[in-house]
Every structure is written in structure tokens, then in C-alpha cells.
Copies of this chain bind each other. A is one copy, B any other.
Amino acid sequence: MPDRMARPQPPSPEAACEPSSPTRQRRKAERPQQLLEAAYTQFTTRGLAATRTEDVAQLAGVSKGTLFRYYPSKDELFKAVIRHYLVEVIDASRDLSDQWQGGTDDLLKMLAHTWWQRFGQSHAAGIFKLIVAEVGNMPELAQFYVDEVITPTYQLVSRAVQRGIDRQEFRPVEVTAVVQALMATAQFLVLYPQCTATCQHNPMPLEPERFMNTQIDLLLSGLRQPPSGREG
């Protein structure tokens, strides 16, 4: 993980020697979060370049100068936004660990729905849009994304698929292909609405939960062992 995308060192409100006053301490502690939220909103709606630092500050209810007390530059603020909201999902996924008892098809559904509940329906769209838009100008962003999102997701999901194969619930398909199919589904789910949000006529509206279910069912129907003649 490259330096500049390293894990957040939260602008240390606790590093202050003497707590000047409870009120001010509290306000100071809240600022990073306020600013990140404002920045997330602006960056995802207008894009990095089209967002003015003053807009972010105003939306957070502070002045321009205050923003720069907490983040040394617009670029660092951007990276902090990416880190903050990505780390959110990464941490959220950590405890989805492998002690699942039921069928693997239900495990995959659970994983998908958990992802959607915890991240997909809130920040995934914005964050992913930002990564797509800005990765060309920020090589460290690509590495961060791969290391923190792709790799853990790949491992998590491929273990689940492998479990299905091992338990002979699934045909012995190529695991990676299934993982990619699920990733593609998730990506489409977050990006398609972005690209069609403002449209009057949309021939193919997308209801998230229903879309997820349908896609997973379609996928599972291709994975499941055919009821072999001998077994019937």
C-alpha cells in the first residue's frame, strides 16, 4: 500500500496537550467527519476538479481556511474521502467470516445483501465513480483500490465459491469467473443508476434489491449441479 494512500491517521484531536475546553474539543473532533461528508457529497456530485474547496467548506459549515487546517490540500482531502469510505466497507466485511452453516447459495446471497446494506446503497456508487474518474491521474489510487478492495473481496468471495464446489453444491466451474460475475453485477448496480439518474425516459430502470436477487439467481442456476439422472 503506497505511502500517500496509507491508513488514515485521523487528524489527531487527542494529541492536544491540554484540552482547551470541552466544547472546542468536541467541535474540533467533529470537524474531520463533517468535512469528509461535505467533500464526499461535492466530489461525487460534481467531480474532483469541478468542486471548489470553498463549496466543501461551506457545506460543512466552516470557512475555507478551516478546511485547510484539517487537510493540507484538496488532493489530500480527496484521498481522505476515498480512504474513509472504502475503509468503512473493508472493515465491515472483515467479520463476515467463514463460519457459515447453511447452503452456499444462501451464503452468496447473504454476502451480496450484507455488502449492499453496509456499503452498496450508501457510498459505493460515489466512491467507485471517483475511482473510475480519477485513477488515471493517481496511480496510487489504483494500487490502493486493488489492495484494499479487489484483493480482499476476491479472497472472500472465491472462498465461498470454492466451498460450494467442495460441497458439490456447485459444478466444478472456474472460481475466478464466478467472482468476476459477482463483481460485475455489483459494479453495474452502483454505476448504472449514476448514468441514468437524471433521465426522463429510462427503458430499463433498475431496482437494486430485485436486481441483485435476479442476477444471483441467474448465476446460481448456472452453477448448481444438474439433478443427475442417477440421483433422481
Contact = CB atoms under 8 A, between A and B. Distances in A.
A44 interface: yes
B180 A206 contact: yes
B179 A142 contact: no
B47 A134 contact: yes
A174 B232 CA distance: 28
Q: Which of A49, A50, A131, A135 has the most CB of B within 10 A?
A: A135
Chain A interface size range: 35 or more
A193 B24 CA distance: 46
Count identical subunits in the complex.
4
A129 B139 contact: no
Interface in A110-162: 129, 131-137, 139, 142-143, 145-147, 150-151, 154-155
B180 A45 contact: no
Interface of A: 44-50, 129, 131-137, 139, 142-143, 145-147, 150-151, 154-155, 171, 173-174, 176-181, 183-185, 187-188, 191-192, 194-204, 206, 211, 214-215, 218-223, 226-227, 229-230, 232
